[in-house]
Structure 1
């Protein structure tokens, strides 16, 4: 990759992480049922993407259409599980666990994408996960509800990892805007099925809730996930997934400022380990280790 393209990809990845780090905060502010939040987040995103996605030209094979639909189903499951986790556990614990997706990428990436993780990549994962463990250890709740929330967040991590790997596999076969429309549309339909199945209300929310729904679609979804999809078409899936580990650092800081959820003393060494892992990945990705 040319130097200019590397800079653009790195900048896009940075903006994406900042955008998605607001996701948990906006979910909390919306104060609505989790599945309703997830549904409107995807519905508004799909509506915004429709004009450019429909105009995108180029053939799409039946196989690629199926893969894009599968990616959308996984995205819908990701938001359903992760947003629901925030009803049961803290912002810090939820966001820490959902960003363990590099573990699944490291395990599945070599067989799914043929992307080698390498020794430094493994070390970066261990380093970052040690940081996550430190932060979560200072804040992790106990009891059945917290464990349920933690489990839902891990499901969100698994589905997000496979979603991004599919996006990388299709990066040269489907126009970017069309791919986003297909994925977001499929996710919206999946979430609608969940909403109808569980009898979740879709109206009667206060005006501010609709503002938070719209901001979730515009910021974390269109900007955040849009740039992550753009980045994963130009970078190996592993460093993209690793960069997302910056989300818990920022989200925990936002929660401390807005909700007075102050980080424990373990937050600071944990954040340092996470950032160290990110630096290892970004500095070594061009050497072919996907580290």
Structure 2
């Protein structure tokens, strides 16, 4: 496998800052969750289409049945990740939702262990336990606020599991397929899935005011084409676990943005729980064996 032009961790860091804006943009829209997700994905593939049609259509012939199968599954799970996560933001705060939806390592550890036979150390399990405890504190605070907030937390956790499945299937395909082709197909499958979801739910495709279309477009450009595409690029050289861990720093940026832009205040349980979640991630990072396993190196 060829060596990338830049270290994979650099795009991952940029991607984390990009996706941190996603919850803010979603909060600013008034459209249904499925509609918001649909236009996010539709605008993404429209923007990508000229480049894909110009230089990458020949790769379609190289896809095996396994590649088509895995890519389609990834696209479907990505669609429902967006639906559930966007819906969770209607019930709970940006801070709670982003913390819980980014608990991907808990699912990534299991997925990479069973599907890719990647080892999980005792220290990693301890870090996972600390992270779970932090998420319980966040949920406890929301339970005291209202049952709706706790329901939003549950939706965010399910969305977290779905995005991990999406990354796991992508980790396999991206080793054989270019970034543009893989991303274009995944986003197309996701868009089609969301289209039929909207029809089944009876939601409206429009019309919407100009401000709504602006938020849809920003969701496509920044979190999707910049954030998620950079994650997909990195999957060729790093494990899903690395990206899942990096994304756990998203809540910090999202909570700060929500405070200044949306005026959302953090409750004591959210602050304590979020701090414990981040502490669990830092504890994982200090596991030297994991660093040796996942740190970038040329594979050949």
Which TM-score applies when normalising by structure 1? 0.90
- Residues 81-113 of structure 1 show CA distances to partners (whole Å, capped at 9, x for unaligned) of 111111122222222221122111122221112
Q: Is the 8 A contact 1:239 1:282 kept in 2?
A: no
Q: Aligned residue for 1:286?
A: 291
1:93 aligns with 2:96: yes
The aligned counterpart of 2:128 is: 125
Unaligned runs of 5+ residues in structure 1 are none
Matches of 2:187 and 2:155 in 1, distance apart?
Answer: 21
SS of the residue aligned with 1:179? helix
Structure 2: 5+ residue stretches without partners: 296-300
> Is this contact kept in 2: 1:139–1:264, CA < 8 A?
no
1:20 has 2:19 as partner? yes
Deviations 1:131-169 (A, max 9, x none): 444455445565443343222212211110110011111
**Any conservation in 2 of the 1:45–1:222 contact (CA below 8 Å)?**
yes
Contact kept in structure 1, 2:143 and 2:150, CA below 8 Å: no
Aligned-residue RMSD, C-alpha: 2.5
The change in CA–CA distance for 1:104 and 1:143 in structure 2 (over 3 A counts) is same
1:278: how far off?
3.6
Q: In the alignment, is the contact (CA less than 8 A) between 1:129 and 1:274 conserved in 2?
A: yes
Residue 160 of structure 1 corresponds to 163
Matches of 2:125 and 2:30, distance apart in 1: 38
Moved more, 106-115 or 155-164: 106-115
Residues 45, 217 of structure 1: 8 Å contact kept: yes
State whether residues 142 and 149 of structure 2, in contact with CA within 8 Å, keep that contact through their aligned partners in structure 1: no
Change (3 A) 1:184 1:79: same
Q: 1:48-83 CA deviation, whole Å, 9 max, x = no partner?
A: 222333322431112211110110001011111111
In the other structure, the counterpart of 1:38 is 37
1:132 and 1:152 mapped to 2: Cα distance? 13
How far apart are the structure 2 equivalents of 1:246 and 1:176? Answer: 24
Partner SS for 1:103:
helix
Q: Is the Cα–Cα contact under 8 Å of residues 138 and 267 in structure 1 kept in the other structure?
A: yes
Number of aligned pairs? 289
Partner of residue 52, structure 1: 51
Distance in 2, Cα, partners of 1:228 & 1:124: 23
Matched-pair contact (CA < 8 Å) for 1:92–1:139:
no
Question: Take 2:144 and 2:194, find their aligned partners in 1: how far apart are those partners?
Answer: 28
Deviates more, 1:53-62 or 1:233-242: 53-62
| Per-residue Cα deviation, 1:164-192 (whole angstroms, up to 9, x for no partner) | 01111112222211000010000000000
- Whether 1:254 aligns to 2:268 is no
Q: State the distance in 2 between where 1:140 and 1:252 align.
A: 19
Partner of 1:104: 107
| Matched residue, 1:228 | 231
Aligned pair partner of 2:178 in 175, 180, 185: 175
TM-score normalized by the length of structure 2: 0.87
Distance 1:250 1:267 in 2: 14
Instruction: Give the alignment partner of residue 69 of structure 2, picking from 66, 70, 74.
Output: 66
